[in-house]
Amino acid sequence: MKFDNPAKDNPIDRLKVIGQPHDRIDGPLKTTGTARYAYEWHDEMPNAAYGYVLGSAIAKGQISSIDLQAARNAPGVLTIVTADNAGRLGKGERNAAALLAGPDIAHYHQAIAVVVAETFEQARAAAELIEVQYHREQGAYNLAAEKPSITTPPESEPDKTTGDFASAFSASAVQLDATYTTPDQSHMAMEPHASMAAWDGGKLTVWTSNQMVDWCRTDLATTLKLPAENIRVISPYIGGGFGGKLFLRSDVLLAALGARAAKRPVKIALQRPFIPNNTTHRPATIQHIRIGTDKDGRIGAIAHESWSGNLPDGQPETAVQQTQLLYAGANRFTGLRLAKIDLPEGNAMRAPGEAPGMMALEIAIDEIAEKAGVDPVEFRILNDTQVDPANPERFFSRRQLIECLRTGAKQFGWRRRNAEPAQVRDGRWLVGTGVAAGFRNNLVMKSGARVHLDSQGKVTVETDMTDIGTGSYTIIAQTAAEMLGVPLEKVVVRLGDSSFPVSAGSGGQWGANSSTAGVYAACVKLRETVAAKLGFDPATAEFADEQIHAGDRSAQLKEAAADGTLTVEDSIEFGELDKKFQQSTFAAHFVEVGVDMATGETRVRRMLAVCAAGRILNPKTARSQVIGAMTMGVGAALMEELAIDQRLGYFVNHDLAAYEVPVHADIPEQEVIFLEDTDPVSSPMKAKGVGELGLCGVSAAIANAVYNATGVRVRDYPITLDKLLKGLPEVI
């Protein structure tokens, strides 16, 4: 199905199943421990051996020698795979560095060997016996130190200019010129990267934890130099990804290599310190923002430059993209700068680009609003735009930022806020409130599905879409039930298998909208097939109550499959509506904090998110996504930071004991409001994504609340107490 015109009325609009707060259909499996994750396919492969990955002890250089003899002779060892005996390997297009290194080393903990043994403990013990000698080279590990030498924009993201920023900024009545920093951060999903691999002749099956099944399959095929059709990837349940499992990683490759060498199935779970150092992380940024307004606070000039670092084949953190679209202003400049850094690969983490970009931009907006003497909510409303500022002919398909701000301000009690910082106390706590806009572009991807109807009237949907805890099983079942007029319990959903049609996968906030649109397309074809089978006109027939109706005539849906199961397959392919319309999602985040005036300890007291993100397919699962994102925003604002050993080039706090993330005690009352916001330009579902929008702007709202509470403006995340103490009252 080609989607190249705005959606008209369709069966989804009935909202009998779609749009309702159904419980997750996979919930009972997860709460009883019967949903099998990547490391748990014991029944399929009861004789699996265990692999243990050895990572590089240096960040840059070469392996001079590697002695495997003692490890090979250790109890239980079946085989050891290194770059010397793995055979010729390729490199997937989505990997910045080789997943099995040798002799050259690109980053710390880059995999250099996998030991396969009968038990995990034997594999781990043997790995400790491997003797490796290195030639260490000097590396670059400090973005700030590399920043002065970066002058050329990356080829993938040239500078973007509109009007004459320099002249307009110089002539502005009110000016802001400030620099902000965000640190390296880790996804830290509860489930580590884990895989099990088994060979059958020249064909490979991998059970893994991966958000994008087809990306994993095709990049694994490239790396192993195999035809993609010889590889099957299975990933039905994922225990958290946040972008860290978008791409092929070393656990998959090394499980496959180990299984081939050992001639039996092999399972691998990366040890926790490998998650930041061996997989990917959100890279640090240095962001320079300049804003100029007239005396009334209208933006006339806005510029945003961002510096980030990555390995030679890596990409920059696209932290300026929201600044190109969020606020009006005739004169604009945005640019990305990329340093070559010898740290582990920087790549997508929930809301890549906008999340760190808005951590800076939305503080800057508050700062310029204060300089202009305008309330920060009203300043954002004053500078709203209904068109792409760089291309005024291109309207937003839907843009409800003002309604988000107005609704949130009323619900949160914004008018009671004291605009003068450090004036509100609750015992020893300084209390403040803050606001930030939320923005995330709406992305769509081609997505396919296969739908079956059997003689009992049961509908089965198959697609390689994944569920990373977002509720994909449920909203896909809701889509099929709505389209075919059957109850939810009559729908079976099978996900995460490369033998199913290729879907959008879970990432970039495109998953829910795109994958359900793919199911919609397949269901349209099944409706046509059923109608033809039973002698109805598909254009006028209605599907409801497990029947097909037209005029005075009706028939049971299952009658169409009386002679055998009906099976259809289709995909949604998106046309060029995104060229005519700018498609984005919007939010307003409001936060109240308390800061201990003696210690600088910050406690978030209450949070509100108001979201405009198209049709909400399931308010219950969508709310879960938003409050989860809000929680991540608390972590990013107040505690999350990968500490770099500047001498040796690795992340020191590479486990859950030292890398701090929010816990239940850190999270207060959270409220989420979804605006009515169907968008026919987005898809036949008229939906958009929301799981990343819930993060964008949250950290800045917290930073702005801390400033309102204390009068201390922190521009370097995270906002830890040491950055506040110097500005707190000397006498309590």
Cβ atoms 341, 140 nearer than 8 A: yes
Domain that holds residue 383: 353-442+583-725
Q: Could you say which of 578, 596, 615 is where a domain stops?
A: 578
For residue range 487-538, list pLDDT tens digits in order: 999 999 999 999 999 999 999 999 999 999 999 999 999 999 999 999 999 9
Neighbours of 462 (CB within 10 A): 23
- pLDDT value of residue 731: 60
Pick the last residue of a domain from 531, 562, 578.
578
- % of the chain beyond a pLDDT of 70: 100
* Helix, strand or coil, per DSSP, at residue 151: coil
Residues 495 and 574 in one domain: yes
Q: Let me know if 660 is a catalytic residue.
A: no
In sequence order, which residues have a C-beta less than 8 Å from that of residue 566 and are 6 or more positions away? 452, 453, 526, 529, 530, 533, 560
- For residue range 197-228, what is the model confidence (pLDDT) as tens digits? 999 999 999 999 999 999 999 999 999 999 99
pLDDT tens digits for range 667-708: 999 999 999 999 999 999 999 999 999 999 999 999 999 999
Q: How far apart are CA 121 and CA 179, in angstroms?
A: 49
Q: What's the mean pLDDT in 298-327?
A: 97
Considering the entire predicted model, what is its pTM? 0.98
Q: What are the two backbone dihedrals, phi and then psi, of residue 198, each rounded to the nearest 5 degrees?
A: -145, 140
Token pair, residue 636, equals 């990013």
Please report whether residue 512 resides in a domain.
yes
Report the pLDDT value the prediction gives residue 732, as an integer from 0 to 100: 55
Please identify which residue in the block is written with the tokens 């001639």: 263
Residues 497 and 625 in one domain: no
Q: Which CATH number do you get for residue 675?
A: 3.30.365.10
Tell me if 309 sits within 8 A of 339, measured CB to CB: yes
What 3-state DSSP class applies to 49?
A: strand
Of 418, 413, 388, 384, give the one whose Cα is nearest residue 401. Answer: 384
When pLDDT is cut at 50, 70 and 90, the band that residue 249 belongs to is very high
Percent of the chain whose pLDDT exceeds 90: 97
Is 438 in the same domain as 448?
no
- 602-612 sheet: strands from edge to edge: 425-426, 429-441, 584-596, 602-612, 669-674
Taking only the tens place, the pLDDT of each residue in 633-642 is 999 999 999 9
* 495 and 597 both lie in a single domain: no
Reported as a pLDDT band with limits 50, 70 and 90, residue 349 is very high
Does residue 588 sit in the same domain as residue 719? yes
pLDDT in tens, 356-388: 999 999 999 999 999 999 999 999 999 999 999
DSSP code at position 162: E
pLDDT at 162 over 80: yes
pLDDT category, 351, cuts 50, 70, 90?
A: very high
d(CA 200, CA 230) in angstroms, rounded, equals: 10
Domain boundary among the residues 546, 578, 610 is at 578
Residues 410 and 500 in one domain: no
Selected catalytic residue, list 317, 569, 640, 692? 692
Confidence class of residue 154 from pLDDT cuts 50, 70 and 90?
Answer: confident
**Owner of token pair 């046509």:** 528
What's the Cα-to-Cα distance from 473 to each of 66, 462, 467, 494, 615, rounded to whole Å? 47, 10, 7, 8, 18
Residue 151 pLDDT grade (very low, low, confident, very high; cuts 50, 70, 90): low
Split at pLDDT 50, 70, 90, the class of 156 is confident
β-pair type (331-340, 160-162): antiparallel
pLDDT at 147 over 90: no
User: Rounded to whole angstroms, how far apart are CA atoms 626 and 630?
Assistant: 6
Q: How far apart are CA 68 and CA 81, in angstroms?
A: 10
> Which residues in 37-71 are b (16+ Cβ under 10 Å) and which e?
bbbbbeeebeebbbbbbbbbebbbbebeebebeeb
Q: Is residue 460 part of a domain?
A: yes
